[in-house]
Structure formats: structure tokens, C-alpha cells
């Protein structure tokens, strides 16, 4: 979920939950990439990439949502990790060459700062780019603002009714984020409900669920507030220091 309001004192507010197979190892947000010293994000230990990252030097955020998994490429090559795409989105105007997108499994890639918010999407057939207009948006594994996902029509009015906070760095998380913490509790929905924000599912013998959550604010002057919890169902929020 994000609020993009270019004229506001905090033009970009992002609230995100990461869903993944819970046995997949990961590291909490930090600056893991030596070639990107101002970039912080959670790190997937298996592939080395990230699902969400913040560039503190430029006040920008990038996030990846996995899409459809495709058949192996006909040339026999391995599909590259999608976890590199948020890092590329923070360092390149075009995070992926359209001529090379066929190599990837499906994805939705968000990049946003105080002036601009955009989403690139690939579903194995078409590669699209969309500029998000000012306002509230929800991006899910189907894409941006797709009401086919029952989460969106349930949470859109809740997001729209949530007041914008003043998440200045250094304030206690509860004071910084206010009603956004209530929003991130998931409205009391059962974690198996198809509308749920915080999920908990069994897929065969595998446990798939919400493994972390993030709150990010970007101020008009480029300052960044970054909060994280590894337990979204019973959150213990902490601010990520620069």
C-alpha cells in the first residue's frame, strides 16, 4: 500500500507486507551491497537480492512482487533472480532491458520517490510500464489496483480513511506512524481469509505466510523514515538507522 502525494510534507508513504515460504532464509534490512553504500533492504540469503530497498541518498524506494512462474527458457539458461530488480530500479532509469525481460519469471516492480511513482509488470506475454497518479494505491501479485484480488476492495477504503502521519526519524514508532500501525494489523481478518493482509497458509507440506512488514516515509526534502518488523502478526516495530 502506498500514498503518493507530491504536494505533501511527506509525499511518499509505503506500507508493505512480505509473503514468502517461511523456511526461505533472509536477513533483516541493512546495507548489504558494497557497490550501493546508501541502499538498505532486506536480503534473500539464497539469491542475494531483495524484495524491498531504500536509497537514502536519493529518497527513493523500490519493491518487487513476484508474478507468475514461467516454464524454463527454450535456450536452456537459468532464469535470473528477480531480487536484483529493486536494486537496479534504484540505480538505473530503466531497471531492465525490454529485450531481456523474457528471461525472468513474472513480476511487478515498483519504484517511487517524492516526485514520481511507477510500476513495471511482466507476465510472460506482455511487458508494461505504468505511472501511478497521486493518491492511494495498493500493489499485489496481480499488479497495481487490481480489484480481482479481494484484498484491494477490502483495504482501499481503510487506507483512504487513514490519516497521513508525520514519521520524522527518531520519533518512537507509535508516534511516528499513528493510524498506519492500526492499518498494518490487518483489520482483524483471519490469516486464511482471501482478503487478509497478514496471511498464514499451508501449501502441501510447505508453510507460506507473512514473514515481515515495512513502513517507509519519504519527506519532501528527501529524508527517509524506515521501520521494520519480522513478526507482522504480533508486530515489534523498530526504526532502521541510516
The domain segmentation of the chain, as residue ranges, is 2-235
DSSP E strands, the chain? 2-4, 12-21, 26-30, 39-44, 52-55, 60-66, 107-112, 117-122, 127-131, 135-137, 139-140, 143-144, 200-203, 206-218, 224-229, 238-239
Say how far apart CA 52 and CA 19 lie, in whole Å: 12
Query: How are beta strands 26-30 and 39-44 bridged, if at all?
Result: antiparallel
Cβ(87)–Cβ(53) under 8 Å? yes
What are 22's three cell numbers? 517461511
* Residue among 236, 148, 109 nearest 184 (CA): 236
Q: Which residues pair with 212 in a beta bridge?
A: 18
Residue 141: its pLDDT value, please?
A: 94
* Ranges in the chain, pLDDT < 50: none
Residue 6 is predicted with a pLDDT of 97
* pTM assigned to the model: 0.96
Question: Distance between CA atoms of 23 and 207, rounded to whole angstroms?
Answer: 8
Cell numbers that stand for 99 in this block: 529485450
For 113-189, where are the E strands, in sequence order?
117-122, 127-131, 135-137, 139-140, 143-144
CATH placement of domain 2-235: 3.60.60
Question: Which DSSP letter does residue 80 get?
Answer: P
Give the per-residue pLDDT at 103.
Answer: 93
pLDDT recorded at residue 205: 87
The pLDDT value given to residue 241: 95
Residue 180, pLDDT score: 98
Alpha-carbon distance of 218 to 53, in angstroms, equals 13
pLDDT of 76 reads 82
Count of alpha carbons within 13 Å of 2, Cβ hemisphere only? 29
Residue 197: the pLDDT is 98
Q: Degrees (nearest 5) of the Cα angle 117, 43, 182?
A: 60
Amino acid at each position: 500500500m502506498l500514498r503518493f502525494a507530491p504536494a505533501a510534507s511527506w509525499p511518499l508513504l509505503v506500507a508493505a507486507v512480505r509473503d514468502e515460504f517461511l523456511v526461505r532464509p533472509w536477513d533483516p534490512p541493512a546495507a548489504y551491497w558494497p557497490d550501493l553504500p546508501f541502499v538498505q533492504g532486506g536480503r534473500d540469503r539464497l539469491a542475494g537480492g531483495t524484495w524491498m530497498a531504500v536509497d537514502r541518498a536519493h529518497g527513493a524506494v523500490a519493491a518487487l512482487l513476484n508474478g507468475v512462474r514461467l516454464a524454463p527458457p527454450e535456450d536452456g539458461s537459468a532464469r535470473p533472480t528477480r531480487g536484483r530488480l529493486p536494486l537496479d530500479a534504484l540505480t538505473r532509469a530503466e531497471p531492465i532491458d525490454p529485450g531481456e525481460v523474457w528471461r525472468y519469471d513474472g513480476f511487478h516492480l515498483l519504484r517511487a520517490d517524492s516526485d514520481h511513482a511507477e510500476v513495471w509488470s511482466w507476465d510472460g506475454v506482455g511487458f508494461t510500464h505504468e505511472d501511478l497518479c497521486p493518491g492511494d494505491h495498493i500493489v499485489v501479485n496481480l499488479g497495481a489496483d487490481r480489484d480481482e484480488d479481494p484484498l484491494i476492495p477490502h483495504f482501499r477504503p481503510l487506507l483512504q480513511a487513514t490519516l497521513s502521519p508525520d514519521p520524522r526519524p527518531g520519533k518512537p514508532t507509535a508516534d511516528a506512524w499513528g493510524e498506519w500501525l492500526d492499518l498494518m494489523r490487518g483489520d482483524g481478518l483471519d490469516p486464511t481469509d482471501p482478503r487478509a493482509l497478514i496471511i498464514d497458509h499451508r501449501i502441501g507440506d510447505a508453510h507460506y505466510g507473512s514473514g515481515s512488514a515495512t513502513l517507509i516515509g519519504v519527506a519532501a526534502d528527501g529524508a527517509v523514515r524506515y521501520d521494520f518488523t519480522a513478526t507482522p502478526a504480533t508486530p515489534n516495530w523498530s526504526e532502521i538507522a541510516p
